[in-house]
A and B are shown apart, each in its own frame.
Chain A
């Protein structure tokens, strides 16, 4: 019995030793990072592209020596377009896999559900998609476009073009609602009279505007009435539509818009949620001449961007990862902001000489710069990122012709009330 027991113990010990030694060695050479995107459900169409670009970035970094000599080991989890699940998966990444950083989330609601988790476990999340602001967590780095890096420059551009009337139209959720409220204040501060802002205003009992613009639910199919209202709104000329409709609801809207005889030269549409990647599912030909505003376009003619696009396409063809669409791929702003996020993290880690969240965040707050495909980006003290803003016009091939660029725009999350205050100060 004793013999048996000791043999058993020895075997157990050996198996533990065998099992743990490679594990220990792996832990020395690699650093785990989390990728938290929806790979199934309604958001999968958009978010899988970000997963792809992240894997590409990790490969690129690993090939050139990794982060502080350690290879990046991605842990990819599926948020499944289910917001509470995002929180659970974030918890799993932080507590079980002990990842050094998480790259992920697309919708604001998924970010909001992950936020308490990363704050509690003191994790680090890089968030890459244009959003409405009014948020600043010590554990989140917003590489995304803040409202003043997308919406207000677009309005500036329209005003410079002599546009006088603005019609606000969006899908009914937090991003369009908040963005349009900020835009309303911004337009008023620029001297646009309130009757020249279309779509309708909703006020609370105290008379404060709580919602500006026209909103339709996801999957709305009938835009006849809205388009006829826009047509009357735009009859006098110099009108522009600020469009925050999401995803494929844009199709019935743009079809109705064209059928009503509206066109990009008389009444252009500036869309904030249509990037090159979305054009894979939209009829680009129907949108020719309409405007977009992002901090990156695939058509940017810089050598850095050309290299990025070529390398990404090459990687798509050679990668052994499963489930990656290889045909007709494009690059777009959320993808490049994900890419930038990884490099900013790498540089911050190398500067802090540590993977510890506090030290990395401290380095990022001091200001880390990276020359990305869309130009130089610099992290700010307020966890947002300074970057270039581009206005582009849609071409028939789903790419943008760049019309105007604003260099080095600093991200500013808290905008509500600031324009009003500025006007009052004057």
Chain B
């Protein structure tokens, strides 16, 4: 059982190579030298047989009309391949192999190498023999990557590539890639791979990979001809609490029962193993649910904290809170596009094009860090404008402020549509927010861990602001008794404005985060406004601690009900029902705040 593993979302090998690709020159130099080495090697072989690994790859690349034959050719490389085969296959996978039309109307598979000249041209190498492609006059052909037809791949072909790469990867120096290869070989349950795995096990030094090897070997042994080996392998998998072996064990059990005579030895071993795995799964689900509950609670908290200030502390029923969240999300989208390919807007029918930085790699991934303050400030500014423009006249009339802010929310939604279009816009997560971290089979998504940390940070910052700064003191004074504070010389108007701006800014931060896990569109706010109010009301209007506890409570109960009922709709209904009952019992929420201004 994998005790500790880093899961990067996609297979590791492409990741490794895409990393290499980013360091373009290194990769090129690497492949250059390898290819040079191979030119010498291939020259002698190519003359005798045309199915060197290189020739086979070239042949497969050109078979664009026959996906099955492509896959077959690639699979055949498992026997003949070398490390260089792996490089070429990976290159093909990421679109580094091109199909070039020769003047005589035949096609040739090529790769590009060397540094590009001023026009972006690189030297073309033939895939079949690794030699430079020469034109009629014997000069090397120079080509621009963007003008070439990339050799496509499909899942089937990539799977064939993967199995070849797996075998090659068993000896790769990279630990994670090796472990991934081991697991995949185990799942294929091919007895003919057993020796490869055992050979590797004898040499393996890394503890993680050793565990994976043990698991893989046991999985393959389930297919053994010897019933004793099978039973032992089943017990082994049970002891390892291997979750992925469940299906294989069930299949074995079926086989054992169907056999004549039924093999009770195997059945007993399998039943025992499955019981152990089942217990383990229960624990995994328990901790998983707890984590998912806390993460959902954190999302709720992030969404509701702004409202806890504007509604909870100030008593303004702000129906446009959801749209302030959307402002934050759209601000993130704008920053995202400015770091990327550029931003095209069409406010009120005018087309505006703002060129982007076209950043790549770490700089592009940093866009989210920049987006956070931008989202906070833009939502805060919209909030302040809203407070100055409308809400300041309605402090004593909550019903009118409800209607007015609802109107504002509709206006803002239409504005989003006019500026950004009625389709959703796309925000891609940075690399460091995608992927997950697995401990004892419970996977913790980076974005989910991030939101928990983000929620904690926001709560601490808000608490510090309210209790440790002079602005916080003024805010609390004004919220407790506006007239008295005004009598003491506090500029209540200004404090109102700043408090509302702060609450709105927090909504903007929520929007920035939500862009990472869901849709960014004109109706984004509508999806969260009810949940935000629900969280604040259950927690007790005016109490930050109440908001925190109610968000976590709702999150964990929601996830637990989903896990138990296995039905997202029913779970949600039960949570809402429970909240209604709870509010019947405690209409003021969990924490009742005694305040003169709220009594008014």
Determine if chain A interacts with chain B.
yes
A215 pairs with B569, CB closer than 8 A = yes
B156 pairs with A221, CB closer than 8 A = no
Flag B546-586 by CB within 8 Å of A: 1 or 0 each: 00000000000011001100111100100000000000000
Q: A235-B247, A256-B517 are in contact. Are A285 and B11 (CB under 8 A)?
A: no
Residues of B within 8 A of A216 (CB): 568-569
The answer, among A161, A224, A232, A264, for a CB contact under 8 Å with B296, is A224
A258 pairs with B518, CB closer than 8 A = no
A260 pairs with B443, CB closer than 8 A = yes
B243 pairs with A232, CB closer than 8 A = yes
CB nearest to A290 among chain B residues:
B155
CB nearest to A263 among chain B residues:
B10
Tell me, yes or no, whether A289 is within 8 Å of chain B by CB: yes
Tell me, yes or no, whether A228 is within 8 Å of chain B by CB: yes
A172 pairs with B155, CB closer than 8 A = no
Query: Shortest distance in angstroms between B152's beta carbon and chain A's nearest beta carbon?
Result: 6
Q: Can you report 26 A-B residue pairs in the complex whose CB atoms are below 8 A from each other?
A: A161-B155, A161-B156, A172-B569, A200-B567, A219-B527, A224-B295, A225-B289, A225-B563, A231-B443, A232-B243, A235-B247, A236-B187, A236-B246, A236-B248, A248-B519, A252-B519, A256-B517, A259-B436, A260-B436, A261-B7, A261-B443, A265-B155, A284-B426, A403-B67, A403-B154, A403-B156
Tell me, yes or no, whether B281 is within 8 Å of chain A by CB: yes
CB nearest to A219 among chain B residues:
B527
Residues of A within 8 A of B569 (CB): 172, 215-217
In the assembly, what is the distance between CA of A226 and CA of B562, in Å?
Answer: 9
Interface of chain B residues 261 through 304 with chain A (CB within 8 A): 281, 285, 288-289, 292, 295-296, 299
CB nearest to A253 among chain B residues:
B518
The answer, among B9, B250, B427, B448, for a CB contact under 8 Å with A263, is B9
Tell me, yes or no, whether A98 is within 8 Å of chain B by CB: no
Tell me, yes or no, whether A84 is within 8 Å of chain B by CB: no
Tell me, yes or no, whether B446 is within 8 Å of chain A by CB: yes
Query: Shortest distance in angstroms between B326's beta carbon and chain A's nearest beta carbon?
Result: 14
CB nearest to A258 among chain B residues:
B9
CB nearest to A164 among chain B residues:
B247
Interface of chain A residues 24 through 47 with chain B (CB within 8 A): 44-45
Q: Which of A275-283, A355-363, A365-373 has 4 or more CB atoms under 8 Å from chain B?
A: A275-283
Residues of B within 8 A of A285 (CB): 428
- Most chain B Cβ neighbours within 10 Å, of A251, A252, A291: A251
Flag A197-239 by CB within 8 Å of B: 1 or 0 each: 0001000000000000011110111101110110110011100
Tell me, yes or no, whether B244 is within 8 Å of chain A by CB: yes
CB nearest to B159 among chain A residues:
A265
B187 pairs with A282, CB closer than 8 A = no
Residues of B within 8 A of A286 (CB): 428
Query: Shortest distance in angstroms between A211's beta carbon and chain B's nearest beta carbon?
Result: 10
Residues of A within 8 A of B517 (CB): 221, 252, 255-256
In the assembly, what is the distance between CA of A280 and CA of B438, in Å?
Answer: 34
In the assembly, what is the distance between CA of A45 and CA of B522, in Å?
Answer: 13
The answer, among B296, B424, B446, B448, for a CB contact under 8 Å with A251, is B424
Besides A215-B569, A220-B568, A221-B518, 18 other A-B contacts (C-beta < 8 A)? A45-B422, A165-B247, A172-B569, A195-B250, A200-B566, A215-B568, A217-B569, A221-B527, A225-B289, A237-B244, A251-B519, A259-B435, A259-B445, A265-B11, A281-B424, A283-B428, A289-B155, A393-B155
Residues of B within 8 A of A265 (CB): 11, 155, 158-159, 162
Residues of B within 8 A of A138 (CB): none
In the assembly, what is the distance between CA of A161 and CA of B248, in Å?
Answer: 19
A282 pairs with B424, CB closer than 8 A = yes
A259 pairs with B562, CB closer than 8 A = no
Tell me, yes or no, whether B400 is within 8 Å of chain A by CB: no
A226 pairs with B568, CB closer than 8 A = yes
CB nearest to A42 among chain B residues:
B523
Tell me, yes or no, whether A128 is within 8 Å of chain B by CB: no
Tell me, yes or no, whether A313 is within 8 Å of chain B by CB: no
CB nearest to A283 among chain B residues:
B426
Closest 4 pairs (CB-CB, A-B): A236-B247, A261-B7, A281-B423, A259-B445
Residues of A within 8 A of B245 (CB): 236
Tell me, yes or no, whether B434 is within 8 Å of chain A by CB: yes
Q: Chain B interface (Cβ within 8 Å of chain A)?
A: 7-11, 67, 152, 154-156, 158-159, 162, 187, 243-248, 250, 281, 285, 288-289, 292, 295-296, 299, 422-424, 426-429, 434-436, 438, 443, 445-448, 516-519, 521, 527-528, 558-559, 562-563, 566-569, 572
B429 pairs with A225, CB closer than 8 A = no
Q: A221-B527, A229-B566, A252-B517 are in contact. Are A264 and B155 (CB under 8 A)?
A: yes
Tell me, yes or no, whether A70 is within 8 Å of chain B by CB: no
Residues of A within 8 A of B281 (CB): 232
Tell me, yes or no, whether A112 is within 8 Å of chain B by CB: no
The answer, among A45, A165, A226, A401, for a CB contact under 8 Å with B423, is A45
B interface: dominant SS? helix
The answer, among A165, A231, A280, A401, for a CB contact under 8 Å with B154, is A401
The answer, among A45, A225, A236, A393, for a CB contact under 8 Å with B562, is A225
- Most chain B Cβ neighbours within 10 Å, of A231, A248, A393, A401: A248
Tell me, yes or no, whether A79 is within 8 Å of chain B by CB: no
Flag A103-135 by CB within 8 Å of B: 1 or 0 each: 000000000000000000000000000000000
Residues of A within 8 A of B434 (CB): 258-259
Residues of A within 8 A of B159 (CB): 265
Query: Shortest distance in angstroms between A314's beta carbon and chain B's nearest beta carbon?
Result: 20
B559 pairs with A224, CB closer than 8 A = yes
Residues of B within 8 A of A221 (CB): 517-518, 527-528
Residues of B within 8 A of A228 (CB): 285, 288, 292, 443
Query: Shortest distance in angstroms between B456's beta carbon and chain A's nearest beta carbon?
Result: 19
Tell me, yes or no, whether A268 is within 8 Å of chain B by CB: yes
Query: Shortest distance in angstroms between B399's beta carbon and chain A's nearest beta carbon?
Result: 28
In the assembly, what is the distance between CA of A393 and CA of B67, in Å?
Answer: 13
Query: Shortest distance in angstroms between B562's beta carbon and chain A's nearest beta carbon?
Result: 4
In the assembly, what is the distance between CA of A373 and CA of B228, in Å?
Answer: 60
B423 pairs with A280, CB closer than 8 A = yes
- Most chain B Cβ neighbours within 10 Å, of A222, A236, A264: A222
Flag A293-322 by CB within 8 Å of B: 1 or 0 each: 000000000000000000000000000000
Interface of chain A residues 376 through 410 with chain B (CB within 8 A): 393, 401, 403
Residues of B within 8 A of A252 (CB): 517-519
In the assembly, what is the distance between CA of A265 and CA of B438, in Å?
Answer: 20
CB nearest to B288 among chain A residues:
A228
In the assembly, what is the distance between CA of A121 and CA of B436, in Å?
Answer: 59
Residues of A within 8 A of B572 (CB): 217
A259 pairs with B446, CB closer than 8 A = yes
Residues of B within 8 A of A255 (CB): 429, 447, 516-518
Residues of B within 8 A of A256 (CB): 445, 517
The answer, among A235, A260, A261, for a CB contact under 8 Å with B243, is A235
Residues of B within 8 A of A224 (CB): 292, 295-296, 448, 559
B426 pairs with A259, CB closer than 8 A = no
The answer, among B8, B445, B568, for a CB contact under 8 Å with A225, is B568
Query: Shortest distance in angstroms between B257's beta carbon and chain A's nearest beta carbon?
Result: 14
In the assembly, what is the distance between CA of A255 and CA of B243, in Å?
Answer: 24
In the assembly, what is the distance between CA of A256 and CA of B438, in Å?
Answer: 15
Residues of B within 8 A of A214 (CB): 566-568
In the assembly, what is the distance between CA of A248 and CA of B250, in Å?
Answer: 37
In the assembly, what is the distance between CA of A30 and CA of B448, in Å?
Answer: 61
Residues of A within 8 A of B156 (CB): 161, 403
Residues of B within 8 A of A258 (CB): 9, 434
